[in-house]
Chains A and B, each alone.
Chain A
Amino acid sequence: MSVTNLKLKDQSALRPAAPVIAFTRSVKRASGRPLLARLSAGAANVAPLIVTLSLILIAWQIVCSAPDSSLPSPTRVLEESWELIAHPFYVGQGVDQGLFWHIAASLQRVAIGYALAAVVGIALGALVGQSQLAMRGLDPIFQVLRTVPPLAWLPLSLAAFQDGTPSAIFVIFITAIWPIIINTAVGIRNIPQDYQNVAKVLRLNAFEYFGKIMLPAAAPYIFTGLRIGIGLSWLAIVAAEMLIGGVGIGFFIWDAWNSSLISDIIVALIYVGIVGFFLDRLIALVGRVVTRGTATA
């Protein structure tokens, strides 16, 4: 996790100062160039990806083409799971739903748990970052609790909530909250003395300081935490749903395994990966818009 953390921080430092302006600039540049040049530039970006994807698919096809292969080849996946791929919005009985609905159910759980984690995490992070006393009292506890694997919380939350869905939401919450707390606290501890002096000279009160100095100054760090948090949430929901059952992409995968539908599992994994990718990009995008000029002082 610490590696991811570092990487994200690097990226945030390299972020352009004012994306709004960068955005209009890039639009201008794009519209100013002839269509053909734009297409060829786009192709140059995408071509390597297409090549690697093709190589992987070909290798996979060759390795798994034996009739007694334990895993299906790409063509067999297409053949066996065509129903699943072609009808993502299929509505059936109970857990017999199209993949879109499974993903939607998982996303809903993640949304609730993650939103709670963001609110509580930023508040606790602000407290720990701001107060030396709170840090001494709480930080050791955070450091211990954050190492508990997400799924280890599940039995406890099942016992507490007596129901699958709130337990899964709690697992998301408890998984996502630690990086949010820790990054927020670091961000607030790193607010430059200059900004604090400005706040003092202006005599900002506690609320004004929180909204006008603390949050914007710590925003790049907070979004680093939020981005790690969303990734962990998506990791945890699949595992948690395997255990709690019901509609959801995690249980879908488990159900497919129990029914020996290996091709369905592969399709579901591709869905999980792509959704996770877009969640990460979404938070990064929100972060860029919200932090605007903050990243570069």
Chain B
Amino acid sequence: MSTTNTTPALEVRHLTVSYRNRPVLGDLSLPPLLPGQLVALVGPNATGKSTLLRALARLVPASGQARWDGQDLLAMPAAALARTIGYMPQSLPETAALNVLEVTLTAMQARALPAREEELAAMAVLERLGIDDLAMRRLDQLSGGQRQVAALAQAIARDSPILLLDEPTSALDLRHQWRVMDTVRRLADGGHLVITVLHDLALAAQWADHILVIHRGRLHACGTPQAAITPEMLRTVYGVEARVQHCERGRTMVLIDGPAEAPPA
């Protein structure tokens, strides 16, 4: 996989998604997103972050352009798309009588590997995420957090150049949050383009190269964490008065003082 940071990889232009004639994403264009980048999608609830991921994974009908290295993601054959994009929805169902290894293997069908190679690759992913001890446990025997890491294993196991993760840390304790974000960071450093929805701005600022602030279906701001996470953005987008402190080693603290006088724009 290419690890160059000079060639634009994922280009999204004028992407529009509507549910029942109500636009959820309106004419959304993004700066070129590159292999090797970890991109955090942030913004209030119901502003279109998950919809953007679902549109790129072609799970909702969308118009506009989404191209990866010149190939049209919106028109690519399904199997080729599955090899290009690893999508992780918010949680795994607990009712399926499958164990974690089986769930991971199921996600790998588009890779069409020989059985033994597929099993080794799946096991390697579980080890990388630190859930190899859960490999033979069934989904209904896992906690919500463990299921979430298993879901991440499914996305990673496909070894696709683009990873789209929908709130991969939302049900995790601090230790697992760190482990997941560290794994995601390493994947990006290894040449994947990782786009992840995060609600925790401190986590986004700590790990992401770029922040995309989505507000009401449009790109409100983008840039490095220092550039994108500002008191003004928090007031306009989230409707809160807050202080932002950028500490050493790229850490950012967001201290909420209370609701802004004016509601979000």
Are both chains from one complex? no
Point out residues on A near B: beta carbons under 8 Å: none
